[in-house]
């Protein structure tokens, strides 16, 4: 695993931000989901060596990130929601200054995020949304072994969110991508390989530890309706959603596979059940 945390605790005076969290993250798209104040940002900052844990162990590509921040900097690209940009620079100059930048990716994202109209202006003239797009590009356009992003989808329009999700999927084919979010954008469930849910500083769901995670998306037909009902009766699925175009079998056990159906990570169902306790 690229990153592992074991029995992680973090206290800010009287507030416990993390309570004994254990989780591991490997190559692929890893999502840390939870409501605001659940400890997601704290977890990411500890994994990146920006905060020291009160108790517990952290491994970042085999090293302690708090003790070796230079190693983390060399191998990680990070976006923090409240991170500031150098106001005296132009957006395009900031991107050019990034070591190991993939300029082909910069040019593609600049079009997808519509930043070309303003990235030659000084950053202090940007709105918060403009600045966020440049900051996300600075993170996503660097070649790295690990990408860590905190709330990348907030305050973005649908087109920008779709572009970010596409790049995350692309990067996750060869790198470890960890995204903390309380927003579930379309298509995310089709790409993620691991889901961890935090509530009030505690881990309440981990897809590697639960008997179900996936859903099956099947074309609409009597054949797949019958298969869905059989799965429900056998206790291998939790519910069915039917439209005129598809049969969605939700909360499916790991050992259930139906030919012709596509497997998806069922973020929505896992999140709903986690919040219900």
* Model pLDDT for residues 51-76, shown as the tens digit of each residue: 999 999 999 999 999 999 999 999 99
Average pLDDT value for residue range 25-46: 94
pLDDT of residue 95: 94
Which of 12, 10, 22 is closest to 203 using CA atoms?
Answer: 22
pLDDT of residue 89: 94
Q: Is the pLDDT of residue 274 over 80?
A: no
Provide the mean pLDDT of the chain: 90
pLDDT of residue 266: 74
pLDDT of residue 209: 67
Q: Is the pLDDT of residue 33 over 60?
A: yes
Average pLDDT value for residue range 262-274: 76
């Amino acid at each position: 695993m690229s990153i592992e945390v074991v029995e992680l605790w973090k206290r800010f005076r009287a507030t416990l931000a993390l309570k004994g969290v254990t989780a591991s993250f490997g190559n692929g798209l890893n999502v840390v989901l939870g409501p605001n104040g659940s400890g997601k940002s704290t977890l990411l900052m500890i994994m990146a060596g920006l905060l020291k844990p009160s108790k517990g162990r952290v491994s970042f590509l085999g090293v302690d990130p708090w003790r070796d921040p230079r190693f983390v900097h060399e191998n990680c690209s990070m976006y923090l929601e409240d991170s500031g940009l150098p106001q005296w620079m132009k957006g395009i100059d900031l991107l050019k200054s990034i070591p190991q930048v993939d300029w082909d990716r910069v040019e593609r994202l600049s079009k997808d995020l519509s930043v070309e109209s303003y990235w030659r202006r000084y950053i202090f003239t940007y709105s918060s949304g403009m600045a966020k797009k440049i900051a996300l590009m600075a993170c996503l356009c660097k070649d790295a072994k690990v990408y860590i992003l905190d709330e990348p989808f907030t305050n973005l329009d649908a087109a920008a969110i779709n572009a970010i999700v596409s790049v995350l999927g692309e990067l996750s084919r060869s790198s470890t991508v960890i995204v903390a979010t309380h927003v579930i954008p379309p298509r995310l469930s089709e790409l993620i390989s691991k889901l961890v849910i935090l509530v009030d500083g505690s881990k309440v769901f981990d897809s590697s530890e639960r008997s179900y995670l996936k859903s099956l998306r099947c074309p609409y037909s009597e054949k797949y309706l019958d298969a869905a009902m059989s799965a429900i009766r056998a206790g291998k699925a939790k519910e069915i959603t039917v439209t005129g175009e598809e049969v969605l079998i939700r909360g499916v056990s790991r050992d259930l596979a139906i030919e012709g159906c596509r497997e998806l990570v069922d973020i929505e169902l896992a999140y709903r059940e986690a919040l219900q306790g």
